Amino acid sequence: MSTNSLKQIGQLGQSVWYDNIHRDMLDAGELARMVMEDDLRGVTSNPTIFDKAISRGDTYDAAIARALQEEPSLSAGELFNHLAVADIRDAADVLRPVYDRTQGVDGMVSIEVSPALARDTDATIAEARRLWAWIDRPNVMVKVPATKQGVPAIETLIALGINVNVTLLFSVQRYLEVVDAYLAGLQQRARRGERVSHVRSVASFFVSRVDSAIDPQLDDSLAELRGTAAIANAQRAYAHFEDIFDGRRFADLRDLGAREQRLLWASTGTKNPDYSDVLYVEALIGDRTVNTLPPATYEAYKDHGEPRARIHEGIDQAPHILKRLESAGIDMAAVTAQLERDGVQSFLDSYNNLLRSLEEKARSLAA
């Protein structure tokens, strides 16, 4: 067996994706190297990642200048889409052999609809369709936030045959709504006689932020519960995943060639320095899942990760842990609802900052 811990995760049934993208890693061949050496199987992006990549430094200046030379009237938002689509296309081309080898299970690159549309179902659908057609790669996923308004958009997009990465999932209840939307979208296609075997989706369930929100609410008498809520919450979601996609409810779609909507563990970088820097990777290794790792966590796990399929360890105790938290006054529904609001706002802040930076760069380059 390989000594590369990241490769070993793949051998345990979990796909490692990279939660980062920038032009330098594409131009320098870094992404191709990671695919070859680490068995990297996908890339995710979000407005914060693009904000860091484009706003800091001059890597994108030449591309900005070219785009404005060809279309001087581009708004900052349109300019961003030009830059992002170019990166996503190039990353998708690097990962296309992974997509082909895994028959469409992996090799995916994700791009997010504008966070300004998170509460607008129709606008989200329109933006996702536009990005899907523009990028024109089968191994792309359009990221749609799992807001109340995002859920019906997910159903519509799946029914249209568009790959969807459902993002900003914090609560198990909302996860179940997302699964319902995925299945309903596939069923629409099946009723129309359209194939379902090529449609892919992941449900990005955010992890570490749950502990960051709950730990400070636990006094010393409940110290043993610190650092347990996020993993228990994720394990509850995984138990539902197995019940649904291995059960009778999915049987007819499975017979038509449909694939399960895999759970993707997001926000798996450790934010509390008292915890292991690979805590949320180790605990959630499980079959038919994805973990998208930010750069620091990716390097940490490659250096000292100890892969073992652990997702079922303590999974029967997850409801008990969450019940104890509830008894201690933790309102999980309120916590996860606030995390969703904060997540949407954080991405919107990054997006607005990015647009301001692009406006400044455009003025500077024009001068």
Residues recognised as catalytic: 143
| Interacting residues of 271 by C-beta distance below 8 A, sequence separation 6+ | 208, 209, 211, 212
Instruction: Characterize the bridge pairing of strands 164-169 and 201-206.
Output: parallel
Q: Which residues contact 120 (CB under 8 A, 6 or more apart)?
A: 149
Q: Render the burial of 138-164: b for 16+ CB within 10 Å, e for the rest.
A: ebbbbbbbbbebbbbbbbbbbbbebbb
Closest by alpha carbon to 135, among 167, 102, 165, 163? 163
In three-state secondary structure terms, 165 is strand
DSSP string covering 170-211, please? Answer: --HHHHHHHHHHHHHHHHHHHHTT---TT--EEEEEE-HHHH
Contact assessment for residue 296 and residue 269, using Cβ atoms and an 8 Å cutoff = yes
Instruction: Give bridge partners of residue 265 from the DSSP assignment.
Output: 205, 291
163 φ, ψ to 5°?
-70, 135
Provide the 8-state DSSP code for 115: G
Q: Residues for the chain: how many in total? A: 367
Under the phi-then-psi rule, with left for phi > 0, alpha for psi from -120 to 50, and beta for the rest, what region is 107? left
Contact 214, 335 (CB under 8 A): yes
